[in-house]
Structure 1
Amino acid sequence: MNILAIMGPHQAYYKDEPIRELDSALQVQGFQTIYPRDAADLLALIEHNPRVCGVIFDWDEYSLDLCSEINQLNEYLPLYAFINTHSSLDVSINEMRMALWFFEYALNAAEDIAQRIRQYTDEYLDSITPPLTKALFTYVKEGKYTFCTPGHMAGTAYQKSPVGTLFYDFFGANTLKADISISVTELGSLLDHSGPHLEAEEYIARTFGAEQSYMVTNGTSTSNKIVGMYAAPAGSTVLVDRNCHKSLTHLLMMSDIIPIWLTPTRNALGILGGIAKREFTRDSIALKVAQTPRASWPVHAVITNSTYDGLLYNTQYIKETLDVPSLHFDSAWVPYTHFHPIYAGKSGMSGERIPGKVIYETQSTHKLLAAFSQASLIHIKGDYDEQTFNEAYMMHTTTSPNYPIVASIETAAAMLRGNPGRRLITRSVERALHFRREVQRLREESDSWFFDIWQPDGIDEAMCWPIQPGEEDWHGFADADADHMYLDPIKVTILTPGMSEQGEMAQEGIPAALVARYLDQRGVVVEKTGPYNLLFLFSIGIDKTKAMGLLRGLTEFKRAYDLNLRIKNMLPDLYAEDPDFYRHMRIQDLARGIHSLIRQHDLPRLMLQAFARLPEMVLTPHQMFQQQVKGNVETIELGELEGRVSANMILPYPPGVPVVMPGERITHDSRPVLDFLLMLCSIGVHYPGFETDIHGATLTEDGRYLVRVLRDDGIV
């Protein structure tokens, strides 16, 4: 990170010669110098090359205008203005806050100036490096000998083995040297929140608008359990989003608490629409409490924000309306909402404190920001018992945390600070909008069919689009609440032909699973596949190359589909799964067959019924898990599940949310839940390679799905 941009030469000897001398001196200091053609070229260079660590320019020619434009890109970047005896220094107090230094044009002064620039550059790099990461870098550079864990000793052990050297060379020396023991006292402690770890958590809290933040190294699955273990005592009642992440179901299995479900809506496409406003009212909760055995007034609530499909809540309404002392927003998929104005009022940490309430927000730092896998954050706003909370934290946190993961959490936060951070998120939104427009353009230019996008008409302006009631029917939610849910522009849902947002089935269709398999063979991995929709996440790591690769994949699929290529040629991986079955089949035959099967089962109606009628809770998830531990379970085929109490959570992909919780029984009234599962399974029975992935069920070699249930003679 030693690139300096020099604006020149200036066609004046008394200026050119000192700059030439300075160029040579800077190279001795280890800098690489580059010469942009003009101010526009310089600004583009800074915007697209974050390794630029300073700008040298002529004050008389560029003055404060250039400084201000650079400041909009990176207010921390050092600026070096060269002046002469006649230069005018009309600089205000505000402008002097810039990282701006002045030097005079003079011969034989280059070495001293280069040393100063090296000093200011080092200060700049030091200022943008967050505290724990800085301490870790320093420790690695010191190269101390340790006689503690981990056993690979900064990678030394790997270099004593042939296979170990392969591992060492792949990951690199610094990665292994940074994998250190909690015994290294100068880095403080993740468990005690001391030293650089404490500084890092304070730094992160300031960055994300929280009062307190905790770094978690085993993903938001663990963050969710930590919050729940502290906020919900044994025997208490908790409001839980029915479309919760499975980690929250595991929390319910671990803790002896009673769940009351808040049921979200969904449209015919299977897109989750969030929990209706009425569900948050005191009257609605009172009715649920009255209908739930052993339930008391809830002490805690968990809301998924955003939904898997990218819908964000007006969180202020929920905070003010929901009558519970403790409120947790599971925001695993939206760690960036604090850093762009379109997300104002749509995150857990937005706004001020709510009197009498503690607000928690958990975020998967690794999902859509630049952090290692398993990197997660807990943010808190409100009064809580830090010592007791930390006990819950330590219950789920290893005493041997991975320091590179911890440093990546802090670095992800540092990347979002100031103008550079806002620009990162802005570019992410802009790339998503550009991609959406390109798909629209190709659809309009197509002479037959092309993919569509789930979005309103007219998307020129960057915003979160409201899911409003009334005449706007693009979203397909018949009973939408006003000013309640909003579509995040970076969550792009591509629609394939075959089903409308209102659930009308066309005569012909292209199930999305075909497109997903085609894209996967071309190196494009889909985040989520529904019956006729595909979800893509335009995170800060998506660039134009990746976006164009996706667009090219979609257009190539259309071309191949229109040519009606053989499965053997178009989907060779699928063909290899059952060559005899697919030997003479073409892509349109396959699409027609699966689409016909979906129509036969009337998927839109079945899906809506399946999620509108919850199974009966016979045992709490905790009680059911205790029965499972005691061995009071047996295995049956999925089709026999009606009337039986499920031992496990049953969660099909798609749609990726639980349909049966541990301890629940499918009754005649909730039979559509089972019919929906059986319909998903039937596709794989008819078409090899399209077996449904169902968590909580085991797929046998002969195609049967087995589930575990409470024994008939089990304790209820």
Structure 2
Amino acid sequence: MGPHNAFYKDEPIRELDLALTRQGFKLIYPQDANDLLKLIEHNPRICGIIFDWDEYSLELCSEIHLLNEYLPLYAFINTHSSFDVSLNEMRMALWFFEYALDAAEEIAQRIRQYTDEYIDTITPPLTKALFTYVKEGKYTFCTPGHMAGTAFQKSPVGSLFYDFFGGNALKADVSISVTELGSLLDHTGPHLEAEEYIARTFGAEQSYMVTNGTSTSNKIVGMYAAPAGSTVLIDRNCHKSLTHLLMMSNIVPIWLKPTRNALGILGGIPKREFTRESIALKVAQTENASWPVHAVITNSTYDGLLYNTQYIKETLDVPSIHFDSAWVPYTNFHPIYQGKSGMSGDRMPGKVFYETQSTHKLLAAFSQASMIHIKGDYDEQTFNEAYMMHTTTSPNYPIVASIETAAAMLRGNPGRRLINRSVERALHFRREVQRLREESEGWFFDIWQPDGIDEAECWPIQPGDEAWHGFTHADRDHMYLDPIKVTILTPGMSELGDMAAEGIPAALVAKFLDQRGVVVEKTGPYNLLFLFSIGIDKTKAMSLLRGLTEFKRAFDLNLRVKNMLPDLYAEDPDFYRNMRIQTLAAGIHNMIRQHDLPRLMLQAFDTLPEMKMTPHQAFQQQVTGNVETVSIDQLIGRVSANMILPYPPGVPLVMPGEMITEASRAVLDFLLMLCTIGEHYPGFETDIHGATLTEEGRYLVRVLKEQPSI
């Protein structure tokens, strides 16, 4: 901090300014301590603080320490300065210099040294080794063939590619033959150090870095934990990667059936489903089933509901439990998530807990970055065989380094502040929507949350609170709403499924926002999900608020579809030529009312299709060619060859080997209702994994061939 009206202080600081500038530093002079603290908070590239000890002393040091305990502090003193520094305070990165003329060069050298040590301290081991390797600029005669980007620069289009991504990104794409970096597959050298570093950061006993997403992490855990012929408990709200695991591995699934509310928001598995009595009944009712050796629970749900994981760990009588936590890699870094993650709490005798996380989804990492965390005893060599089955021998090192860097960003006070700011920003946005709703004339958007959200917390889904959450048979102290998963509600349906005479289907809002550069994470019939990750700042939050208010203004003016949703108009200009937005909203809303969407959706996920064979057996039938294609309306009585998974909600409705019967007809009725909207309104076709949409608008699915009767 700058000179303060004392000549004997001014001149040494001016000399130091010049010396540090020659060292390549940029110096900034804040107005006061508050200005400095704001600068540190919003400028992570600040690498040191120079201040006058007599004027600011330990109080300023303590405030800076709360923001970043690693940041070097340089206090200037004179011969009369007094010291009152405790042993604990001496642990700060605090150095003292005297005001003296002609000492600037030496002090600048020291500051350069301490800055380098600071950078070394905050940089994790593998990332550090990768940076060092790139700086050395070695000539390699191994893969990859672009040779640190050199090959790209020998081609016009390759040069465009090189210029876009930059030299360092390509130089860091190195071969597994580079011994200085150790081995991702053998877990040696800096890779091993990185895994140990990540395990300490996330509260695990062991962690693994995975470079093909949590889809692969889920398969790795399943391949190790569930031997062929065994039985596994699986959340019916599972990600499709777990269905693919079942298709790959010859195991018997027993489904844990979650709840849903009328809005289509994914609830959790009720407490009773975890009891020994409930599991024993499911085993007895499932052909070839034995007592489960493993269980997979989705935590959190897509819509942000977290479990009391301690209850599950204590109640579920299986040797290993896998928490698929793709959407919540940050739960170890804020007190509101305590007891709600796979790695929370202590190990338990006779049990091992796995947690898979998509580092790239809500932390700062490249796409496909994922982690596996483990707590409990397991066979490391056998687990690593499962790991190598699904891991390439040519991993992308920038992805690996981004996993480690994401972990490094969460360490210490800076990491806690990152997550805390994410929670605070989400709470602020929620309050702004509430304020706008109260001030608006007529309708405005609502938020799926309880009343009175003053403090940061995960809000419990409690019995008796159905008016806000819509889950009519909720268990006490079992499920909690994550505040950074913000679900916006549009008019048309209550949380309990009561349909209003008028409504605005959420898909219209999603299309409007998309044209303004705001992408929705998930769109339900009357709800939109937004993720307030650490990368969301005030600017982005304000853009979303502005988009919502602009939609209301345009909707109330009843603009033409052509003017309000030009991309939708382009889908079928003849159909939308004279249509106005309120007419479109009313048409889709009335269709939803006629099909009684709330009832259909609840029934579709309440009564499961009949399992005729395991997903593995069904896939074996498919690879031998024993399949045929039929229209989706012919599914009843046929065994599905693939999973059928509509977006939204993004979880399987029909599994491979399952048959929709008259008892589960609601599953087909729900699928047909989704198809009908697209048939009537171009641009609103439902994306259904496992079904092919033809140019004529028909959905085709693959089923097993019927065996001829004898």
1:58-207 superposed matches below 5 A: 58-207=52-201
Determine if the alignment matches structure 1 residue 428 to structure 2 residue 422. Answer: yes
| Alpha-carbon distance in structure 1 between the residues aligned to 2:696 and 2:442 | 41
Q: 1:414 to 1:471 in 2, by over 3 A?
A: closer
| Structure 2 residue matching 1:559: 3-state secondary structure | helix
Q: Which residue of structure 2 lines up, in the alignment, with residue 223 of structure 1?
A: 217
Q: Which residue of structure 1 lines up, in the alignment, with residue 528 of structure 2?
A: 534
Q: Which residue of structure 2 lines up, in the alignment, with residue 331 of structure 1?
A: 325
2:694 alignment partner, one of 685, 694, 700: 700
1:576-595 superposed matches below 5 A: 576-595=570-589
Q: Which residue of structure 1 lines up, in the alignment, with residue 379 of structure 2?
A: 385
| Structure 1 residue matching 2:27: 3-state secondary structure | strand
1:301-380 superposed matches below 5 A: 301-380=295-374
| Structure 1 residue matching 2:365: 3-state secondary structure | coil
| Alpha-carbon distance in structure 1 between the residues aligned to 2:110 and 2:228 | 62
Give the Å deviation of 1:8. Answer: 2.0
| Alpha-carbon distance in structure 2 between the residues aligned to 1:34 and 1:584 | 59
Work out whether residues 274 and 315 of structure 2, in 8 Å CA contact, stay in contact via their aligned partners in 1. Answer: yes
Which shows bigger deviation, 574-583 or 231-240?
574-583
2:630 alignment partner, one of 608, 628, 636: 636
1:163-221 deviation digits (Å, cap 9, x = unpaired): 00000000000000000000000000000000000000000000000000000000000
Give the Å deviation of 1:355. Answer: 1.2
Give the Å deviation of 1:654. Answer: 1.0
| Alpha-carbon distance in structure 1 between the residues aligned to 2:681 and 2:4 | 71
| Alpha-carbon distance in structure 2 between the residues aligned to 1:64 and 1:590 | 64
Q: Which residue of structure 2 lines up, in the alignment, with residue 410 of structure 1?
A: 404
Give the Å deviation of 1:23. Answer: 0.5
Amino acid at match of 1:14: Y
| Structure 1 residue matching 2:467: 3-state secondary structure | coil
Determine if the alignment matches structure 1 residue 569 to structure 2 residue 563. Answer: yes
1:675 alignment partner, one of 654, 669, 673: 669
| Alpha-carbon distance in structure 2 between the residues aligned to 1:156 and 1:34 | 39
| Structure 2 residue matching 1:394: 3-state secondary structure | helix
Amino acid at match of 2:645: L
Amino acid at match of 2:111: I
Work out whether residues 633 and 714 of structure 1, in 8 Å CA contact, stay in contact via their aligned partners in 2. Answer: no
Q: 1:471 to 1:173 in 2, by over 3 A?
A: closer
Determine if the alignment matches structure 1 residue 547 to structure 2 residue 541. Answer: yes
| Structure 2 residue matching 1:351: 3-state secondary structure | coil
Structure 2 unaligned blocks of 5 or more:
none
| Structure 2 residue matching 1:239: 3-state secondary structure | strand
Q: Give the TM-score taking structure 2 as reference length.
A: 0.99
1:616 alignment partner, one of 610, 621, 625: 610
Determine if the alignment matches structure 1 residue 285 to structure 2 residue 252. Answer: no
| Structure 1 residue matching 2:633: 3-state secondary structure | helix
| Structure 2 residue matching 1:605: 3-state secondary structure | helix
1:6-25 superposed matches below 5 A: 7-25=1-19
Give the Å deviation of 1:471. Answer: 4.4
How large is the Cα RMSD of the aligned pairs?
0.7
Q: Which residue of structure 1 lines up, in the alignment, with residue 705 of structure 2?
A: 711
Amino acid at match of 1:636: V
Give the Å deviation of 1:473. Answer: 2.3
Work out whether residues 632 and 714 of structure 1, in 8 Å CA contact, stay in contact via their aligned partners in 2. Answer: no
| Alpha-carbon distance in structure 2 between the residues aligned to 1:210 and 1:264 | 27
| Alpha-carbon distance in structure 2 between the residues aligned to 1:652 and 1:515 | 20
| Alpha-carbon distance in structure 2 between the residues aligned to 1:18 and 1:391 | 62
| Structure 2 residue matching 1:225: 3-state secondary structure | helix
Amino acid at match of 2:385: E
Determine if the alignment matches structure 1 residue 235 to structure 2 residue 260. Answer: no
| Alpha-carbon distance in structure 1 between the residues aligned to 2:2 and 2:402 | 38
Q: Which residue of structure 2 lines up, in the alignment, with residue 437 of structure 1?
A: 431
Give the Å deviation of 1:304. Answer: 0.1
Give the Å deviation of 1:382. Answer: 0.1
1:572-606 deviation digits (Å, cap 9, x = unpaired): 11111111110110000000000000000000011
Work out whether residues 153 and 162 of structure 2, in 8 Å CA contact, stay in contact via their aligned partners in 1. Answer: yes
1:74-124 deviation digits (Å, cap 9, x = unpaired): 000000000111111111000000000000111110000000000000000
Q: Which residue of structure 2 lines up, in the alignment, with residue 4 of structure 1?
A: none
2:680 alignment partner, one of 667, 682, 686: 686
Q: Which residue of structure 2 lines up, in the alignment, with residue 514 of structure 1?
A: 508
Determine if the alignment matches structure 1 residue 604 to structure 2 residue 598. Answer: yes
| Structure 2 residue matching 1:87: 3-state secondary structure | coil
Q: 1:259 to 1:714 in 2, by over 3 A?
A: farther
1:262 alignment partner, one of 231, 240, 256: 256
1:537-585 deviation digits (Å, cap 9, x = unpaired): 0000000000000000000000000000000100011111111110110
Which shows bigger deviation, 359-368 or 466-475?
466-475
Determine if the alignment matches structure 1 residue 57 to structure 2 residue 51. Answer: yes
Moved over 6 A (4+): none
| Structure 2 residue matching 1:165: 3-state secondary structure | helix
| Alpha-carbon distance in structure 1 between the residues aligned to 2:674 and 2:647 | 9
| Structure 1 residue matching 2:570: 3-state secondary structure | helix
1:494-533 deviation digits (Å, cap 9, x = unpaired): 0000000000000000000000000001110000000000
Give the Å deviation of 1:714. Answer: 8.2
Q: Which residue of structure 2 lines up, in the alignment, with residue 394 of structure 1?
A: 388
Work out whether residues 505 and 589 of structure 2, in 8 Å CA contact, stay in contact via their aligned partners in 1. Answer: yes
Give the Å deviation of 1:702. Answer: 0.1
Work out whether residues 486 and 531 of structure 2, in 8 Å CA contact, stay in contact via their aligned partners in 1. Answer: yes
Q: Which residue of structure 2 lines up, in the alignment, with residue 212 of structure 1?
A: 206
- How many residues end up aligned between the 2 structures? 709
Q: Which residue of structure 1 lines up, in the alignment, with residue 488 of structure 2?
A: 494
| Alpha-carbon distance in structure 1 between the residues aligned to 2:463 and 2:37 | 44
Work out whether residues 487 and 527 of structure 2, in 8 Å CA contact, stay in contact via their aligned partners in 1. Answer: yes
Work out whether residues 490 and 539 of structure 1, in 8 Å CA contact, stay in contact via their aligned partners in 2. Answer: yes
| Alpha-carbon distance in structure 2 between the residues aligned to 1:648 and 1:529 | 24
| Alpha-carbon distance in structure 2 between the residues aligned to 1:91 and 1:168 | 52
